[in-house]
């Protein structure tokens, strides 16, 4: 959709993003959007509408609310859009934490399958790659990772692989032990898929 002559709007279902280089342009575009929605009989939800500023200098434009008609839109430092957490500093750490929590939740939903002795390791890997892995890495193509975030993703994958492959019996002592960090990667046909 064009607002004020340029494409500055992203919309998907009932989620709408207005892009602007300044608060003034944001207000103009929001007013144009509100007018266009009213012409079609739609209304914006003032209590659900928020705005976020992503300037190079975070001290610019310390306005806490944008007022359009009878609604005041609250300024936020981050929000969830289409399942992805966006922050004004473009920190991906919060998104990765959220994805890892979701991956753990999906693991627990199939935990009985992955710990079953009836399934082969290759089938367990397929379950991991089709159910858990995509949840964790959804949207990762746009991530700019630091070494810390890469390490967290590798740790998650190693944890999943340890749970799949279980323990290993020491040949010398005969004792069962947990797999070391490099061992799951030796057993997994495609190591380090996370990063």
pLDDT digit string (tens) for 172-193? 887 877 777 667 666 665 655 5
Give dist(CA 134, CA 139) in Å, integer. Answer: 9
pLDDT for the residue 8: 60
Give dist(CA 59, CA 57) in Å, integer. Answer: 5
Least confident of 45-59, 93-107, 110-124, 145-159: 45-59
Answer whether residue 37 shows pLDDT above 60. Answer: yes
Q: What's the longest Cα–Cα distance across the chain? A: 79
CB-based contacts of 195: which residues, under 8 Å, 6+ apart? 145, 150, 153, 154
What digits encode the pLDDT tens for the residues 139-176?
A: 787 777 889 999 999 889 888 888 888 777 777 887 87
Matching residue, tokens 């199939």: 110
Instruction: Report phi then psi at 145, rounded to 5.
Output: -90, 140
pLDDT for the residue 173: 82
CB-based contacts of 25: which residues, under 8 Å, 6+ apart? 4, 8
CB-based contacts of 92: which residues, under 8 Å, 6+ apart? 143, 144, 145, 149
pTM of the model: 0.62
CA-to-CA dists, residue 33 to 3, 26, 39, 78, 172, angstroms: 8, 10, 10, 22, 72
pLDDT for the residue 94: 83
Answer whether residue 101 shows pLDDT above 70. Answer: yes
pLDDT for the residue 174: 79
Give dist(CA 82, CA 165) in Å, integer. Answer: 34
What digits encode the pLDDT tens for the residues 52-93?
A: 777 665 555 556 667 777 777 777 777 777 777 777 777 788
Please name every residue paired with 84 in a beta bridge, in sequence order, or none if there are none: 81
What digits encode the pLDDT tens for the residues 8-22?
A: 666 666 667 776 777
pLDDT for the residue 123: 92
pLDDT for the residue 24: 78
* Lookup: tokens for 195: 């990063």
């Amino acid at each position: 959709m064009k607002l004020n002559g340029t494409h500055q709007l992203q919309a998907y279902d009932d989620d709408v993003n207005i892009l602007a280089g300044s608060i003034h342009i944001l207000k103009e575009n929001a007013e144009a959007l509100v007018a266009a929605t009213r012409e079609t009989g739609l209304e914006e939800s003032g209590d659900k509408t928020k705005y976020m500023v992503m300037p190079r200098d975070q001290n610019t434009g310390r306005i806490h609310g944008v007022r359009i008609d009878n609604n005041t839109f609250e300024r936020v430092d981050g929000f969830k859009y289409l399942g992805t957490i966006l922050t004004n500093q473009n920190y991906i750490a919060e998104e990765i934490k959220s994805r890892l929590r979701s991956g753990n939740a999906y693991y627990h939903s199939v935990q009985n399958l992955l710990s079953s002795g009836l399934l082969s390791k290759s089938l367990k890997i397929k379950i991991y790659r089709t159910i858990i892995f995509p949840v964790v890495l959804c949207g990762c193509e746009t991530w700019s990772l630091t070494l810390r975030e890469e390490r967290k993703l590798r740790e998650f994958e190693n944890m999943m692989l340890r749970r799949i492959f279980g323990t290993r019996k020491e040949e010398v002592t005969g004792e069962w032990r947990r797999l070391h960090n490099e061992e799951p990667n030796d057993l997994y046909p495609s190591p380090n898929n996370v990063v």
